[in-house]
Chains A and B, each alone.
Chain A
Amino acid sequence: MGDLATFFSALVSPDFPFVRNAFFAGALSSILFGLLGSVVTVKRIASLAGAISHAVLGGIGIALYLSATGKVPNLPPMVGAIIFALLSALLIGTASLKSKQREDTVIQAIWAIGMSIGVLFMAKTPGYSDPSSYLFGNILLISSQDLWMLLALDIIVIILIWRYYEQIEATSFDEEFAQVRGIPTRVVFLVILAVTAIAVVLLQTFVGIVMVIAMLTLPAGTAGFGAKSLAAMMVASTIYSFIFSTVGLAAGWVFDAPVGAMVVVTAGLFYLGRLLANALKKRRRRA
């Protein structure tokens, strides 16, 4: 356990590269959480992203098993995770487009089956592998290579959103109207799901699978209270994500507690505070 002063000195000290990496990971993740979180929130597909993020565990489990048993030597868990993420995004996306009434069941099925496959394969993997380490993540284990991958995905997502902002806004606000305007709404939807799926895989190393969803929705939800446009929501949400991850990292250092959980508790409390303030404001206006 340290105090805030030692946290800041650790942040700039060459002896603690993991703290600095964690800080940069928080900053780079904030862009993904802010941009994609806003899209996920206004498109109301948080439950779809939730299912994808949990199904990823199946891919991680299979990759660990194949690697540890020597069937596919040195197979990184992330490869399995990305394959499972994209597969589940495709399945959920198709179910959502083709059979809206069964969408809920498909989401729950993929969520449960993915996680169970992960647990089963990890149980049969020689040596020790703990599913909970993937569920909750550890930001302090982030490598420089992870940071470069996060930066690359940030750039891709920024370019995609800058280029297709109007189309994303239109399909999110009024899908039928966007379709009449000739926008391929199904393609836009599937691309959003696929990019979110890949982001989920990278981000789960930051705050863990369980908490990715919280960070995809809480900062965007907080930003949504005051934002006047989707673009403003994206910017505010990115700033909130950065503040939450930095405060969570500092609090984790000070209280010697898991950083991922600290980040989400910070974000959750702030969101609930805004929700309460908003409700009081509305009540006062009505009175």
Chain B
Amino acid sequence: MRDLPIALKFSDVSFSYPHLDVLSDVTFHFHSGEFIALVGPNGSGKTTLLKLILGLEEPKSGTIKLLGHPPKRSRSLIGYVPQHASYDPSFPISVGEVVRMGMVETKKRYHTNQGEAVLKALTQVEMENLVDRPYSELSGGQRRRVLVARALVGEPAMLVLDEPTANMDRESERRLYNTLSTLKGETTILIVTHDMRQVSALVDRVFCIDSLNERTGTRTVIQHPLEEVDDGTKRVLHEQAIPADQCWQEVRHG
């Protein structure tokens, strides 16, 4: 895995909002093709970390390299699946159009042959028969899968999913992980979730936003080992910590 290029690298990153320090000394990296989970309780700074990865916020100090470049330069290579909690149900838009949005660029207009790519992405999430359906008529779980298709349509180098299974029914969750399992190994996948105890069996490594440091008032990122559980998930062993910058092979072989 160490031979594969580094997909994301945080080096001594600190971040503060005005009057509020959030993160400090964040150093971790993962490689292309890995399936990573980033966990942390609500309010711990997961969204802030995600914004830093996507180049929506700038670190106070330290550097972030996404696919070898600063996030603002390389973020268009990311397939981003937001929570999209503030979605407006009266927005007139079809499923196909939402997916096509994944190919939008700053200056160019859509090409006519992008319909095929849209259909392919919808097939990946098992929703190809709903291409003309109004987006507002879908269930919450179906909408989330459409957003996954939107992220996939541009054939991204890395997929970032923010709380992908929040408010999702069991069937949609099963289908989502089914889709992700077909992508595992080919596409780098980063899942951000507040579920601290267990993660999908697909996950290779887990990073956790650490508990609040009383002295600095900030948090950092640490790594925990995973243990396979009979129900097909992996348990996060919070009692053991691994340096966050230690990568897959080093973790496995010491």
Complex alpha-carbon distance, A126 and B247, angstroms: 79
Tell me if B76 and A181 are in contact (CB < 8 A): yes
B106 contacts across to A, CB distance below 8 A:
167, 181-184
A174: contacting residue among B55, B75, B82, B110, CB under 8 A:
B82
- Is B82 in contact with A229, judged by CB distance below 8 angstroms? no
- Whether B84 pairs with A174 at a CB distance below 8 angstroms is yes
Assess whether A166 is in contact with B92, with CB atoms less than 8 Å apart.
no
Write 11 A-B pairs (CB below 8 A) sorted by A numbering.
A166-B109, A169-B97, A174-B82, A174-B87, A177-B80, A177-B101, A177-B150, A180-B76, A183-B104, A228-B134, A233-B92
The answer to whether A172 has its CB under 8 Å from any CB of chain B is yes
Chain B interface (Cβ < 8 Å from any Cβ of A): 54-56, 75-76, 78, 80, 82, 84, 87-88, 90-94, 97-98, 101-102, 104-106, 109-110, 134, 150
Q: Which of A159-214 contact B (CB under 8 A)?
A: 163, 165-167, 169-170, 172-174, 176-184
- B154's nearest neighbour on chain A, judged by CB, is A181
B92–A224 contact, CB under 8 A?
Answer: yes
In the bound complex, how far is the Cα of B87 from the Cα of A246, in angstroms?
Answer: 35
A44 near B: Cβ within 8 Å? yes
A42 touching B88 in the complex, CB below 8 Å, given contacts A173-B93, A229-B94, A230-B93:
yes
Q: Which of A177, A180, A182, A233 has the most CB atoms of chain B within a 10 A radius of its CB? A: A180
Q: Which residue numbers of A lie inside 8 Å of B, CB to CB?
A: 42, 44, 163, 165-167, 169-170, 172-174, 176-184, 224, 227-230, 232-233
**Cα distance A184–B105 when bound, in Å?**
10
Q: Main secondary structure on chain B at its contact with chain A?
A: loop
- Assuming the contacts A174-B101, A177-B101, A178-B104, asked whether A163 and B109 have C-beta atoms less than 8 A apart, the reply is yes
User: Which 3 residue pairs of A and B lie closest in terms of their CB atoms, listed nearest first?
Assistant: A227-B92, A182-B76, A170-B104
A184 to B110, CA, bound (A): 17
B76: chain A residues within 8 A (beta carbon) = 180-182
Residues of A within 8 A of B80 (CB): 177, 180
Task: Give the complex CA separation of A232 and B105 in angstroms.
Answer: 22
CA distance A174 to B98 in the complex (A): 10
Contact, CB under 8 Å: A228 / B92: yes
Give, as a whole number of angstroms, the nearest-CB distance from B155 to chain A.
14
**Which residue of chain B lies nearest to A233 when distances are taken between CB atoms in the complex?**
B92
Q: Are B94 and A44 in contact (CB under 8 A)?
A: no
Chain A residues with CB under 8 A of B134: 228
Output the nearest chain A residue to B76 by Cβ-Cβ distance.
A182
State whether A176 and B97 are in contact (beta carbons under 8 Å apart), knowing that A182-B106, A232-B92 are contacts in the complex.
no
